[in-house]
Structure 1
Amino acid sequence: MKAFMDTLETIKIGDFSLGSLLSALLILLVGIFIVKILMRLADRLISRPNVPKTLHGFLHTGIKALLYVLLVMVAMDSLGIPITTLVAVVSVAGVAVSLALQDSFSNIASGVFLLANKPFEVGDFVEADGVSGVVTEIGFSYTRLTTGDNKYIFIPNKQIFSNKIINYTYQETRRVDIDITASYDAPTEAVKKSLQEACDAVPGILEDPAPFVGLTNYGASSIEYVLRVWVKADDYWPVRFALNEKIRETFEANGVEMTYDHINVHMVEDKTK
């Protein structure tokens, strides 16, 4: 066996012996197997309830990258390549890559800030960069949202971090605001009564704070009102849709006319003829 190994050392491929190359290859193969085992253990630790879901992707990718870097360093050491050489190569490559991938690094840095500040977490319904949806993943470079019509939207973290973020599920309750117009012929009390009846008929509206109806403006052909009710965040859209339908029903039942934009055209007879 020793003679065989000595023979392998005498065979040169470039600057390296065949024996050292086979040794490095064996280290890589065994190392990849070990990395997979370690990643399974790491994923179990990452998946614990005390670890925020928003960190799962970051931790998984970071640990995996670190393990593979260590594996490459061990393989290079077996070839007799000094670690300092690797560090120098990585440094030079890092400068070149950083110039070419400025936006990518900016996205990664923004992702770190998003995790640190926690404006949202996986499962929250948010509006970011003009897109609304449920956060399904916060990655190193991108945050993924699932829209109401089941589309996957990938938004660069840089765009999210530098723009306004609205988190609709951060609070347990939300307010539903509905603007309504009614005819000048409809008494204000009749309008308020109809809106209150609509609120009483729709399940999911909270009693505290109580529903509010206010007269907001006198328009050119109608009086404008606003109805405000509080609901649980998950009930926002079902309550809003049901309330809109019920308002029309109660208005019709109580004889309250809902106005709409229209134009009256008066024909004037030409008396010069």
Structure 2
Amino acid sequence: MNTDTISQILELSIGSLSVEKLFYILLLTLLCYIVSKILLKIFKRIIQRFSPDRSIQVFLNNGLKILLIFISIIIITEYLGIPTTSLVALLSVASLAISLSVQGLLSNVAGGLTILFTRPFAVGDYIKLDSLSGKVTQTGLIYTQLLTPENKTVFLPNSQVAEGRIINYTSQTQRRIEIFVGASYNAPVEDVKEALHEAIRSFPDLIQEPLPAVHVRNYQDSSIQYVIHAWVPTELYWDAYYILMEEIKKSFDRHHIAMDYPHMNIHMIGDENNG
């Protein structure tokens, strides 16, 4: 094929689109594709270094991919001589319409990104969100999944999670047990404290630094209120709590200490003139 034949082929046209122009459009499209692939590969390495979470990587990667496609379309339409201002305006209106229609979804995505970046909890943590408690089994961009103690699976919208008050019970390796106990005013303070320490010693896995402590907390209408403070490994918290609750009653019974309940004493005073 000689040079004249190639020139004749390039001069052929389909409407206003010549073969030469079509060739350059394909070449430009290929160039945009190659550049986009390189940029996506570099960006993927960067986000893998700074964010190990798979959900964040996929979300950011897809966002950059859409942006690069949009830029490629603008470049190609500019080459074709099509005014891009109207195209940009059309895409802006379409984006606004889509964003309004999926406003709730976008707020959940924003909440999901907040959770994934700030990391107030991780999968496997036991948390309390407002009045709901459970173990985190999955975190995503739209929902956070909890498994409650009743074995119920709850899907929480991330917008609510990000705005809610989160208590993470398992982020620390130790937890403090706090138990309030009421004892009769007739029982000597030292005897009550000894009985409570005896109950504490029944659970050997309590942490000894800091040492478990018993204090007089309050003088109530019908009893003296004592408080137990004891540290325990987080995974043993409920075992220790329930065992101590049982042992306190047994120890009080052994020491003949009454757990007084609210009551009122009424003293009848007779009329001395009535014999």
Question: TM-score scaled to structure 1, two decimals?
Answer: 0.67
State whether structure 2 residue 95 is matched by structure 1 residue 97. no
Supply the AA of the counterpart residue of 1:212. A
Question: d(CA) in 1 for partners of 2:87 and 2:234?
Answer: 53
Match of 1:139 in 2: 140
Shift, 1:184, TM fit: 0.3
Secondary structure at the aligned position of 2:105 is classed as helix
Question: d(CA) in 2 for partners of 1:97 and 1:210?
Answer: 60
Question: d(CA) in 2 for partners of 1:186 and 1:60?
Answer: 65
State whether structure 2 residue 150 is matched by structure 1 residue 158. no
Question: d(CA) in 1 for partners of 2:266 and 2:147?
Answer: 49
Question: d(CA) in 2 for partners of 1:149 and 1:57?
Answer: 28
State whether structure 2 residue 149 is matched by structure 1 residue 175. no
Match of 1:200 in 2: 201
Shift, 1:133, TM fit: 0.9
Supply the AA of the counterpart residue of 1:225. Y
Shift, 1:158, TM fit: 1.4
Task: Note if contact 2:108-2:141 (Cα within 8 Å) is conserved in structure 1.
Answer: yes
In percent, how many aligned pairs have the same letter?
40
Task: Note if contact 1:106-1:158 (Cα within 8 Å) is conserved in structure 2.
Answer: yes
Task: Note if contact 1:183-1:257 (Cα within 8 Å) is conserved in structure 2.
Answer: yes
Of 36, 54, 57, which residue of structure 2 is paired with 1:56? Answer: 54
Supply the AA of the counterpart residue of 2:141. F
Shift, 1:92, TM fit: 3.5
Superimposed CA distance per residue, residues 149-175 of structure 1 (whole angstroms, 9 cap, x where no aligned partner)? 111111111112112211111110000
Question: d(CA) in 1 for partners of 2:170 and 2:252?
Answer: 32
Task: Note if contact 1:203-1:239 (Cα within 8 Å) is conserved in structure 2.
Answer: no
Question: d(CA) in 1 for partners of 2:141 and 2:240?
Answer: 37
Supply the AA of the counterpart residue of 2:132. V
Task: Note if contact 2:221-2:262 (Cα within 8 Å) is conserved in structure 1.
Answer: no
Match of 1:24 in 2: none
Secondary structure at the aligned position of 2:261 is classed as coil
Question: d(CA) in 2 for partners of 1:145 and 1:69?
Answer: 34
Higher deviation after alignment, 62-71 or 121-130: 62-71
Secondary structure at the aligned position of 1:201 is classed as coil
Task: Note if contact 1:133-1:147 (Cα within 8 Å) is conserved in structure 2.
Answer: yes
Q: Which has the larger radius of gyration?
A: 2
Aligned residues: 217
Question: TM-score scaled to structure 2, two decimals?
Answer: 0.67
Match of 1:248 in 2: 249
Superimposed CA distance per residue, residues 19-57 of structure 1 (whole angstroms, 9 cap, x where no aligned partner)? xxxxxxxxxxxxxxxxxxxxxxxxxx9xx9x975xx234
Supply the AA of the counterpart residue of 1:97. I
Match of 2:192 in 1: 191
Question: d(CA) in 1 for partners of 2:200 and 2:87?
Answer: 70
Q: How does 1:1-273 map onto structure 2 within 5 Å?
A: 52=52, 55-59=53-57, 91-263=92-264
Question: d(CA) in 1 for partners of 2:208 and 2:104?
Answer: 49
Question: d(CA) in 2 for partners of 1:56 and 1:254?
Answer: 59
Question: d(CA) in 1 for partners of 2:151 and 2:56?
Answer: 24
Cα distance 1:60–1:251, how it changes in 2: closer, same or farther (>3 A)? same
Question: d(CA) in 1 for partners of 2:215 and 2:179?
Answer: 11
Task: Note if contact 1:186-1:257 (Cα within 8 Å) is conserved in structure 2.
Answer: yes
Question: d(CA) in 1 for partners of 2:104 and 2:205?
Answer: 45
Question: d(CA) in 1 for partners of 2:185 and 2:200?
Answer: 23
Question: d(CA) in 2 for partners of 1:86 and 1:199?
Answer: 74
Match of 1:26 in 2: none
Higher deviation after alignment, 263-272 or 172-181: 263-272
Question: d(CA) in 2 for partners of 1:246 and 1:91?
Answer: 69
